[in-house]
Amino acid sequence: MVAIENLVLVFVAGLITALATGLGAIPFFFVEDFSDRWNVGLWGTASGIMVTVSVFGLADEGLAYASGGIPTMLILGLLAGVALVEIGDVVLNWVDIDDGTESTHDHQHEHDGDVPETEDIQTDGAGHGHDDHAVEAKAIAEGNPKTLLLILGILTIHSFPEGVAVGVSFAELGFDGGLAVLGFSIPLLAVFMTVAISIHNIPEGTAIAIPMRAMGLSKWRMVGAAIFSSLPQPIGAVIAYGFVSWARDFLPFGFGFAAGAMVYLVATEFIPEALATGEELPGKGYRELVAGFGIGALAMLPLMVI
């Protein structure tokens, strides 16, 4: 039986990552424009942290729990994590969150009246681009209950793997060797993963806030919309933690699932998002991306190999 206080703690960790998304809108309280160079660098930093924590934290932890020989459960988990992200993208290709006639990933749809002309909508060719954030932001801004419910379902598909990564990283909650916080022994991996997801969510929140700023919405509504976009994460964290705590034999699968999903998300969403954001920069944002990735990896690597 999983202790209720443990579930509450994991939920709070997931909620922290969701609240971090709101930080992405905070700069608009002080500046009218937001530096693409800074945003690309932050995407790179988040990517570096996520890959490092996934490979040297989640995957390494999964190997430690795997029985001798070929780590079958870990490999199956890795493949399942990749499959979930890919299936989620396929589902999103067919889901409409605009007016019932256009797909969120239809690169040929008209933007007149839908997205402010001040925004240069771009996509990365794989279905992940600024148009997604613009359409989501417009739907949230209009506040239609049916649309908001549909948006939440779509965001659940998008955010669930990140919540799972947080939840699985708490698998050793209460075991010796963790970080003592408020009477809990919290695994260092859980701390690192919560920080990694939170850092990633900041530029995600900025991407949501940019089109809302162009619509003239209030700053606090931008913050609320950014947080709303990550609300599925604490739910996913609790579900994942509850599962791996109940079925300890599936721990290698859980760690592999989270690692596979995270690395695949970095490759197919974070990096393309960064490059789309930095397309107008000198060098098309590659320098900022690589520098940010290196900073994130170097910051986490010494901690992960302790």
Mean of pLDDT values over 180-190:
79
DSSP 19-70: HHHHHTTGGGGT-SS--HHHHHHHHHHHHHHHHHHIIIIIIHHHHHHSPSSS
Give the three-class secondary structure for 181. strand
Above 90 in pLDDT, residue 129?
no
Mean of pLDDT values over 21-34:
79
End-to-end CA distance of the chain: 31
Model pLDDT for residues 213-266, shown as the tens digit of each residue? 767 778 888 888 888 878 888 988 999 888 888 877 788 888 888 889 889 988
136 neighbors 97 (Cβ within 8 angstroms): yes
Phi, psi dihedrals of residue 281, rounded to the nearest 5°: -80, 160
In angstroms, the Cα distances linking 108 to 3, 103, 143, 261 are 50, 10, 25, 29
Mean of pLDDT values over 138-143:
63
Q: What is the b/e burial string over 202-227, where b = at least 16 CB atoms within 10 angstroms of the residue's CB?
A: bbbbbbbbbbbbebebeeebbbbbbb
Mean of pLDDT values over 111-132:
42
61 versus 9: the higher-pLDDT residue is 9
For 38-42, 53-57, 153-157, 170-174, which range has the lowest pLDDT when averaged over its residues?
A: 153-157
Q: How many residues does the chain have?
A: 306
Of the candidates 120, 113, 87, 118, the residue with the CA atom closest to the CA atom of residue 98: 113
How far is Cα 165 from Cα 156, in angstroms, rounded to an integer? 14
Q: CB-hemisphere CA count at 13 Å for 175? A: 11
DSSP code, position 109: -
Share of the chain above pLDDT 90, in %: 7
Q: How many CB atoms lie within 10 A of CB 5?
A: 13
Mean of pLDDT values over 102-117:
41
Q: Which residues pair with 186 in a beta bridge?
A: 179
CB within 8 Å of 232: residues ≥ 6 apart: 152, 155, 156, 158, 159, 160, 163
In the chain, where are the structural domains located?
A: 4-304
How far is Cα 4 from Cα 60, in angstroms, rounded to an integer? 28
Position 12, amino acid: V
How far is Cα 255 from Cα 193, in angstroms, rounded to an integer? 12
Tell me how far the alpha carbon of residue 179 is from its chain's centroid.
Answer: 24
In angstroms, the Cα distances linking 164 to 23, 57, 239, 266 are 22, 14, 7, 15
Mean of pLDDT values over 24-48:
80
20 neighbors 233 (Cβ within 8 angstroms): no
How far is Cα 281 from Cα 288, in angstroms, rounded to an integer? 9
